[in-house]
Structure formats: structure tokens, C-alpha cells
Chain A
């Protein structure tokens, strides 16, 4: 179960209680990244396959797994309930628990296991109008089964329940195909499988650290209706008793909801900056204010150049950005000039803006941490730091004025989720060798001679939260850096040097003679490779090494608070 990096090709084991051939074929030949090699477990052999039975496909070494079973296949008690027999809910839930236990066993063999939620065809109305409120209802039992499954998945670390009900809804009334079922044991129409494939790929993107992190949005006729430079902020269509104004306001609310999940909001607009910012400050029905933005490029220059410049300022790669603009010309310009930036097709009708944004899967992550939720505020603090840097003449004076503190803590179950997120989502200051899961990090922390550290960073502008991860493995005289990932949010203020100082100290305490690191050369981790060369010395056969006996200098402006291991 080695994670794919170069070429990003995953191997997915498909376990289903129905004929999975259509789903497998659509996943296999879907042109969207990442590419997936699909291995099909024998049809209907869900339990043996989950338990790792011979011939189930595990011999192909899949790194992920999709399990899709109909509720009546998982729970015979549910099948009886659907057939009109009285069945106790506890009986059904016990069978769901047994299924969840099988999922947990299968999950130990892969990096990610996705399981489709239980769903029934739209024509399965159970007891009709009383089906949800009556304790013996079929739909009610289904809700309970899905909640039980979701709760089991939440405690697993690498099992995620995907909402098959939403796939059915997207496919419409023809989602379940009775004729295809009776002729070929394929229950669902192709449109359902297309939704499933897109969802699984969104999960794999998240697993690979490819979730988009930044929205770059236009202002005129996108964030609001009208041209602010022509009508003034008082004349904009935003909110009010106006269908266009309400639609733009709803779009802003959708953007704000994304920001609360940790996505950064930025603006690229052809406008007079003072006029545009005044509109954002003063319009009474504006949802997004300048303080909600991580940055902006408002002026009369090329938007593509502005976006590239803005991403540089935020220290994130272009691959993290999504550009939204009502103008097809601007979209095409950015698409051509910055192919790494995702430029989704955009509807002309403002009423469809919010649904178009909320329908994007590119922001999907596998967990949302407190650090994610605080990210927009952290970037607002960063803007203040940059402003201070412009006011303070020298770099050292600026750094000294920040009051940077770094906390080093051994990994615990409470911080393992955030650590896995750092490993999964950091693309620049990372070795780029692997992306361990929460379970893998906790397991390796238990091994003799191995220490897993997580680092928190704060300064006088605020707490950036847990933003660094490192794993040290002692092997003979070398302490090898197995993981090294620091969020780009805290780079450039001595944090990476402080972490290195701490790791050199730990390596010395563990009896090693050298701290060594062997980064992979990925497309985006050049900052890490350059830092290691600068800090530890040039690589020999791809490995950087530092003799630990003399220590490693702690930046004078940083206070390090290290917990005992």
C-alpha cells in the first residue's frame, strides 16, 4: 500500500454485493486524474473479501478500497423488515456493527477505505407516509443504519462513508434500473456510477494532498451584481428584494461557508482598488468584508499575472487555486496562462452561482481540524505581518518584533488527525516521500527508536496552531527523518530552522551521530530540498546529513518550548 506520487495511479479494490463490472469499467476509463487501476472482488462475496479471503483481490496490493453493498445484503434483518416482517431495530444494528467490523479489518490493509452509504430505490416507499416516523419503518431503519455506519467510520481513522443517496438523487428517477438488475445484477444506472467515481476520486485527491485551498474570485457581476466603478457601491445589486441581488448574496454566503472549512478567499478584479474595497467595507448587505480575504489583486493589470503573484504572496502553489469569474474571456485567459489553476465552467445566471460553487468536489478533504477553521484568520494575521515587514527596515528587526514561539510535542491520539492532515496536505516544505495516515503515524510512534513530533507556532499576531510534523527513526548511527512537513503558512520566520534545531537535539539524545534526510524530488517540494541543502549541507547520493554532536543553531528570535518525549 505505497502511496502513489509520480503519475498518481491508485489501485482500488472494488467489493460489492452486485455485479460491479459497469462501475469498474467507468472508474477504469474515466479520464480525470487520478488514474485508477481497478481490481474487482468476486461479485456478492462481501464478507469473505472484507476478511481478506484468498482470491478477493488483495493480492494485487490495492492502496484503497470501495465497498458498496445494498442494505438487504448487509442485514438479513433489514431484508425481512423491507418484506413486511416486524424486526427489532437492535437486530438490524447488530448486523451493521458486524459489517463495520469487517470494514475495519479491510481498512487495516489500505490507506483509505470508502464505503457507500445504504440506499434503497426511490420506489421503495416502505410504509409510505408513516415510514420515517413509525418505529418499524423501512426508511427509518435505513437512517439508523447509516448513522451507525458513519459513527463506526468516524472512529476508524481511514474509513469514510460516501453518500450514495446523493448519487441517486443526482441521477434522478432512473437511478435504480430494475431491468438492468434482473438482466445483469447491476442495480444502478451509469449516471449513479459516474457520481460514485467522481466522489471516490475526490477522496483520492484529498488523500494525495491535492485538495484545492484557495478561491480567487472576481468582483463585478460575480461577487455582486453591477460594475462598482460605474454605479458606486450604493448602486450594486446585492441582497435586498431583488432576485439578482439575493443570488449574489447567497453566493457570498457559500464562499464564507467554504472559508469556515479552511479554504482561503482571495480576489482578482479589474477595478480601482480603493473603490472596490470601499464597497466591501460599506455596503450594508455585503457578506464578505476585506477582513475575510487572505489577499487580493485589484487593479488594471493581467489577472493571470495577478493570480500568480497572489499565490506567491500566500506561499501556496498554483495547483491549490480555483478561479471564478463571470467573464468567459477572463476564464479562458487564466486557463491558458495558468493551466495548474482550476477554472471551472461557470453559469451565466447568478442564481446558479452558489450551487455551482457548492457542487465543486475539489475542496474535499478527509478531515477538518481546528487549524483549518482558523486558517482564514491566520492569513489575515499574515497580512498584518507583511505590512509590518514593510514598515520595519531590516529582516532581523522584523523577525525580532514577531515574538515567535514554537512548541514541540510528542504525537498523541489527540493530535494524530492533524498530523496526518499535515502529511497529506503539505506540498512544499515536505520530503515528498510518503503521506502516512493517522493510524500509520500512531503505530510508528510506538516503535522503539522512533519519535513522532508535532509542532505548534504562535507569535504576537496569533496562534497558527499545529503546523509542523517530523518523524525521527534511529538506524545505527543515523537518525533518519522519515517525515518532515511544515505548513507554508509559517515558513520564513525561523520555524523550519527551529524544528531542525529540536530534531538535532533529539537525534543526539537518541544516540545517533548524524541527522539524515533523503527527500524525493517532487514537482512542488523544491523549497524543502533547498532548505535541507542550506541547513544540513549539500546532498550526497540524494541524502543530506548533519553531525549532531555540535547541535544546530536555534534562531535568536525564536523561543522553543519542547515537551519531554
Chain B
């Protein structure tokens, strides 16, 4: 499996796990253009923390990579990596 696909799978699996904490109608779809955070959509602050930690831990366990997504500087980027699934996958891949 190519690296991009593996990262995408890690994000989807983490989101799938997070969905178990949400009411059925508020669950996030596992799609590239799913909004993770912003404009009042997607995850709340704890949900975002859960996503960050979940993805980081799985990247470490499955790909042996250390990527710090929890740094305040990441959240403050003008083009936030947490905008959509696609932007998060792209951001992670650029740092591996």
C-alpha cells in the first residue's frame, strides 16, 4: 500500500473510532472532503485533540514516524491542516 493511502487509512480509522463517541446524526463521513474543523463544522475542541493524539499514536505504531500535530503552531497555520481529511493527509505526508 502506498504511503499516502496508509496515512489516509490511519486518519479514517481514527475518525471511525471517534465517531463512536458521537450521535449517529453527527458522525463524520470517511471521505477526502470531510471537514474536520472550522466554520462551526466538524469536531469540537476535545474531538480535535482526540483526532490529533489518535493519528499521532497510530503513525508512531504503524509507520514508526514521529509527527507532532499538537503543536500550537500547527493549529495557527493560515492553511490549517485540520481543515479537511485531504489537507491533514497532505500535511502528514509532507512531514514524513
Contact = CB atoms under 8 A, between A and B. Distances in A.
A190 interface: yes
A190 B49 contact: no
Given A174-B57, A190-B18, 11 more contacts: A22-B46, A25-B21, A29-B22, A174-B61, A177-B57, A179-B57, A179-B70, A180-B50, A183-B49, A184-B49, A190-B20
A190 B22 contact: no
Which 7 A-B pairs have CB atoms at the shortest separation, nearest pair first? A25-B21, A180-B53, A184-B49, A183-B49, A179-B53, A26-B21, A21-B46
Size class of the A contact interface (CB-based, 8 Å): 10 to 19
A374 to B, nearest CB: 42
B46 to A, nearest CB: 6
B17 interface: yes
Interface of A: 19, 21-22, 25-26, 29-30, 174, 177, 179-180, 183-184, 186, 189-190, 194
A42 B49 CA distance: 20
B41 to A, nearest CB: 18
A183 B21 contact: no
A53 B34 CA distance: 43
B64 interface: no
B23 to A, nearest CB: 6
A25 B22 contact: yes
A26 B56 CA distance: 21
Chain B contact surface mostly: helix
Q: Interface majority SS on A: helix, strand, loop or mixed?
A: helix
B70 A190 contact: no
Contacts of B21: 22, 25-26, 29, 190
5 contacts: A21-B46, A29-B20, A179-B57, A184-B46, A190-B54
B23 A29 contact: yes
A8 B32 CA distance: 39
A190 B23 contact: no
A399 to B, nearest CB: 55
Contacts of B56: 179
Contact of A180 (B22, B24, B49): B49
A144 to B, nearest CB: 33
Contacts of A21: 46
A296 B38 CA distance: 61
A19 B49 CA distance: 13
A472 to B, nearest CB: 46
A30 B20 contact: yes
Contacts of B23: 29
Interface string B1-43: 0000000000000000110111110000000000000000000
